[in-house]
């Protein structure tokens, strides 16, 4: 199965969720700034990355994990991607996860300042702090997704 | 094979283009288009199935918001990730000058009592851009 985590820029929350899914971050403790910055794509994307589906890795069950930045298209983007998968007869091979509902104001402000305004010196500490604040919620979301994947595979 | 006409909304210029493509005799009879200016349908975000063309290809209309190019890129990459051949999906962007204004007027359609006014103004705009839309419809061969 292919799992696509998507958020506004594909640079912070979706990367963190994908890293948790892949075990690149421990869910038992808060990640340090260095650990977050060591993740592929974390606070490193630019405008060309909007709309690009980036491969993050393969989980322990063999699922392929991807991330995607979709700007402000909201949850309708999940419906759009699932609609395309249905059209291609592949809807059982994909799960699309909107991470935006777990994003807090610090992540939005810090991410905007770092990536959109290109001022990482100001934005990066804020988005990292926001990611740490949202971490427990992201852990919970990824655990729910893993249960849903197991559930789907058992049907 | 699937053909998707995509643009800022899926219930106006793209729907019209899909209608023209399926029925070359189609002539500004907007009221015959299912889902025309349908707020609920557009809000769902799913591709809208319109019908089949002369060669049996499934034709859809899709609204993707302001950044049509970005979503086209995503859809093409998704097709590759899902291991579908290129011929399985053809994207046809429909771009017109008044697309932003149409998106804005479409928001009126959320309220049932404003929908007739919204539809009336959108039809006026589409009539002005009718030839521009027609020119963007490719002649596909088998």
Question: Which residues in chain B have Cβ-Cβ distances shorter than 8 Å to A50?
Answer: 67, 70
* From A71, A79, A87, residue closest to B67, measured CB to CB: A71
- Give percent above pLDDT 70 in chain A: 100
State the helix-helix crossing angle for B115-128 and B99-106, rounded to 10 degrees.
Answer: 170
Could you tell me if A112 lies within 8 Å of chain B, comparing CB atoms?
no
Q: Does the pLDDT at position B141 exceed 80?
A: no
- The structure tokens listed for A144 are 């729910």
- Structural domain harbouring A55: 2-102+138-154
Could you tell me if B71 lies within 8 Å of chain A, comparing CB atoms?
yes
User: What does the mean pLDDT of chain B come to?
Assistant: 90
A88-134 pLDDT per residue, tens: 999 999 999 999 999 999 999 999 999 989 999 999 999 999 999 99
Among A residues 59-78, those touching chain B with beta carbons less than 8 Å apart: 64, 66, 68, 70-73, 75-78
**Domain limits, chain B:** 2-135
User: What's the distance, CA A4 to chain centroid?
Assistant: 8
Q: Does the pLDDT at position B140 exceed 70?
A: no
d(CA A90, CA A82): 9
Q: Does the pLDDT at position B13 exceed 50?
A: yes
pLDDT at A16: 97
**Nearest CA distance, A37 vs chain B (angstrom):** 25
The structure tokens 């971050």 sit at A25
- The structure tokens listed for B139 are 């002649």
Question: Which residues in chain A have Cβ-Cβ distances shorter than 8 Å to B71?
Answer: 51, 73, 80
pLDDT at B110: 84
A74: in domain: yes
pLDDT at A49: 93
**Which residue in chain A has the smallest CA separation from B72?**
A51
Using the 8-state DSSP alphabet, how is residue A114 labeled? I
Question: Which residues in chain B have Cβ-Cβ distances shorter than 8 Å to A63?
Answer: none
d(CA A28, CA B28): 62
- The structure tokens listed for A68 are 């995607």
A111: in domain: no
- The structure tokens listed for A89 are 């007869």
A2-27 pLDDT per residue, tens: 999 999 999 999 999 999 999 999 99
Comparing CA positions, the residue from B40, B56, B50, B37 lying closest to residue B5 is: B50
d(CA A12, CA B91): 30
Q: Virtual CA dihedral for B5, B7, B12, B16, nearest 10 degrees?
A: -30
Q: Does the pLDDT at position B90 exceed 70?
A: yes
Contacting residues for A77 by C-beta, under 8 A, at least 6 apart: A6, A70, A96, A98, B45
Task: Answer positive or negative: Cα dihedral of A134, A46, A23, A154.
Answer: positive
Could you tell me if B91 lies within 8 Å of chain A, comparing CB atoms?
no
Q: Does the pLDDT at position B142 exceed 50?
A: no
A8: in domain: yes
Task: Answer positive or negative: Cα dihedral of A121, A127, A129, A132.
Answer: negative
B48-79 pLDDT per residue, tens: 999 999 999 999 999 998 899 999 999 999 99
How many distinct structural domains can be found in chain A? Answer: 1
A44: in domain: yes
Q: A68 near A51, Cβ under 8 Å?
A: yes
d(CA B42, CA B44): 5
**Nearest CA distance, B57 vs chain A (angstrom):** 12
The residue that leads in pLDDT, A137 or B115, is A137
d(CA B140, CA B21): 10
Q: Sorting pLDDT into bands at 50, 70 and 90, what band is B15?
A: very high
Number of other residues whose CB lies within 10 A of the CB of residue A41: 20
DSSP assignment of B22-46 equals H-TT--S-GGGSTTTT-HHHHHH-P
d(CA B137, CA A42): 41
Q: What is the largest CA-CA distance in chain B?
A: 46
A53-95 pLDDT per residue, tens: 999 999 999 999 999 999 988 888 999 999 999 999 999 999 9
Question: Which residues in chain B have Cβ-Cβ distances shorter than 8 Å to A70?
Answer: 70, 74
């Amino acid at each position: 199965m292919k799992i696509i985590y998507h958020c506004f820029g594909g640079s912070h929350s979706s990367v963190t969720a994908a890293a948790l899914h892949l075990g690149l971050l421990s869910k038992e403790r808060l990640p340090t700034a260095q650990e977050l910055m060591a993740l592929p794509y974390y606070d490193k994307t630019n405008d060309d990355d909007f709309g690009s589906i980036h491969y993050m890795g393969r989980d322990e069950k063999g699922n392929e994990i991807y991330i995607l930045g979709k700007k402000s298209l909201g949850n309708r983007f999940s419906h759009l991607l699932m609609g395309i998968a249905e059209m291609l007869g592949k809807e059982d091979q994909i799960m699309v996860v909107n991470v935006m509902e777990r994003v807090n104001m610090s992540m939005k402000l810090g991410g905007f300042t770092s990536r959109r305004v290109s001022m990482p010196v100001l934005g990066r500490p804020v988005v990292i702090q926001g990611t740490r604040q949202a971490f427990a919620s992201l852990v919970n979301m990824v655990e729910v997704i893993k249960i849903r994947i197991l559930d789907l595979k058992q049907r | 094979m699937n053909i998707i006409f995509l643009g800022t909304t899926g219930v106006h210029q793209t729907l019209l283009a899909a209608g023209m493509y399926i029925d070359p005799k189609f002539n500004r009879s907007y009221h015959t288009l299912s889902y025309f200016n349908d707020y609920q349908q557009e809000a769902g975000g799913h591709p809208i199935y319109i019908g089949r063309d002369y060669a049996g290809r499934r034709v859809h209309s899709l609204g993707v918001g302001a950044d049509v190019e970005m979503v086209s890129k995503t859809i093409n990459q998704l097709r590759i990730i899902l291991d579908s051949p290129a011929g399985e999906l053809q994207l046809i962007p429909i771009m017109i000058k008044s697309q932003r204004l149409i998106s804005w007027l479409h928001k009126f359609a959320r309220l049932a009592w404003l929908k007739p006014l919204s539809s009336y103004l959108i039809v006026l705009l589409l009539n002005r851009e009718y030839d521009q839309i027609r020119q963007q419809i490719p002649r596909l061969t088998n």
